[in-house]
Amino acid sequence: MLVHLRTLGCRLNEAELESWAQAFQKAGHQITREQNEAQLIIVNSCAVTQDAVRKSRQLIRRIHRDNPSAKIVASGCYVTLNSDEAAELLGVDLIVSNQDKERLVELAIQELEIPTMPAMSTEPGAISLFSRGRQRAFVKVQDGCRYRCTFCIVTVARGEEKSTPIEQIVQDVNRLVEQGINEVILTGVHLGGYGSDIEQNLANLITAVLEQTTVPRLRLGSLEPWDLPDNFFALFTNPRLMPHLHLPLQSGSDSVLKRMARRCKTEEFTQIIADARAQVPHINITTDIIVGFPGETEQEWQGSFDYIKSIGFGHIHIFTYSMRADTKAATLPQQVPNAIKKQRSQQLHKLAEEMKQDFFSQNQGQSFEVLWEGHKEELNAQSHKVFGYTPNYLRVAAIIDSSQSLENKMLEAKITEITPEYLLAELV
């Protein structure tokens, strides 16, 4: 059977798609990139905002309209929080909640009476990554979150924390390395809480992966600032652990952070960033900021803006607050008018771009080992532009001869020029 997989939302959803793809292939089925030729379509939905809910519904409806004969299995946060509504969507044959995600392939085969053909199954070494090319892969190491930030619905949708044993993660990474993967990203709903249920911790996991696998590059997904263990930055002395951290700040105002039920004040965040930059050369710190959180006064916003500017980030994911049903933030008074939220968002986008360009400038003239990808832009008959990422997660482009291919190679390059979107480099 031809199986097509689609996702909305976070990197964790992408990691789950990859594991399902491998399980379907092991059962003898074939993964296809072509939605309209698929006989079975898996949708991993999102519910982080009301807009994500709307897009999840639209995606399922559009899939059924474009390929009405395909069976549809819907999973993810939207489906978990709105199971009755999702079940009534035209074309949905099976609902799999987040709690049953590990059994999704088994349930789909069983409930939809899909034949299993182990004799035709793909050899593990031949399984190709379907979502992000064959350079990097996400590995889900935990699910669920013990915290209840007032704006977040995902912790409700994902349930209690559950960590994958270190031995299993090491096996997963080694299997990906056998397939030619050069970079693995560890991800989870609450990555910093890894091991809370199995008497382990994130530092132990990172150490084990570095010691028991040969993966050339190891990255970390989003980490809550308060979760970093003692001596965390010492782990980065191993050059295979990439010097990039995404630490969601959400606001630069302590009073807003308190209303969000965040566990890290600005003073503590400042110290974390100072320690990171002192101990990890060229580290890239990126973050999330929510603009227009309920009750955010002009004074709080200006204080937040000034604080963000003082820290400096390589990149900011900017979210304009939108009311999300069933969260505490939706019940808070003094919701900020849309016009003010838009104005503040534009102000922060301008600052974020300035900070990104400043970080680009800090890296100009440096030489880095770049993991080159398959995407390229033809320039003329003799040359094309190829793209890749530095260890500190800066996008780099180089112009090479048309007869050359750098895909999935790690080659040193020197940063020579800056553009608004990426850095230009020359191969060393």
Write out the DSSP string of 49-61. SHHHHHHHHHHHH
Q: Are strands 30-31 and 136-143 parallel, antiparallel or unpaired?
A: unpaired
Reported CATH class of domain 132-240: alpha beta
d(C-alpha 340, C-alpha 323), whole Å: 15
pLDDT by residue (tens digit) across 65-86?
999 999 999 999 999 998 888 8
Structure tokens at 199: 């008497």
For residue 147, is it left (φ>0), alpha (ψ between -120 and 50) or beta?
beta
> Which residue type does 294 have?
P
Structure tokens at 70: 């395909």
Domain 243-363: which topology? Transcription Regulator spoIIAA (3.30.750)
What is the H or E stretch that residue 84 is in?
helix 83-87
pLDDT by residue (tens digit) across 352-375?
999 999 999 999 999 999 999 988
What local confidence, expressed as pLDDT, does residue 25 receive? 85
What local confidence, expressed as pLDDT, does residue 360 receive? 97
What local confidence, expressed as pLDDT, does residue 115 receive? 65
Q: CATH 3.40.50.2300: does it fit domain 2-124?
A: no
Tell me which residues of the chain have a pLDDT lower than 50.
Answer: 117-132
